[in-house]
Amino acid sequence: MYVCVCKAVTDHQIVHAIDQGACTRREVMRCTGAGGVCGKCAQSLKSLLDERAVRQDCLQPA
């Protein structure tokens, strides 16, 4: 499913970036490009970060 329509970034790409160590929205944006245009995907990015951070001990604020 596309999380960021502007940059055509899927949830799988976001999760992969998080699993590779991206701990903040800024880092996810740098890795995938998601969130850098209209910002409508920001809440979805935060939700994915919150969900994955619990599993990874990656608890920096998103």
Q: Report the interface residues with ligand FES, using CB under 6 A.
A: 4-7, 34-41
Phi/psi of residue 22, each to 5°?
Answer: -70, 120
Smallest distance, ligand FES to C-beta of residue 12, A: 15
Smallest distance, ligand FES to C-beta of residue 10, A: 12
Query: What are the residues facing 4 on neighbouring strands?
Result: 9
HSE toward the beta carbon, residue 55, CA cutoff 13 A: 9
Nearer to ligand FES, 23 or 45 (CB): 45
Whole-number Å distance between alpha carbons of 10 and 55: 20
Nearer to ligand FES, 39 or 59 (CB): 39
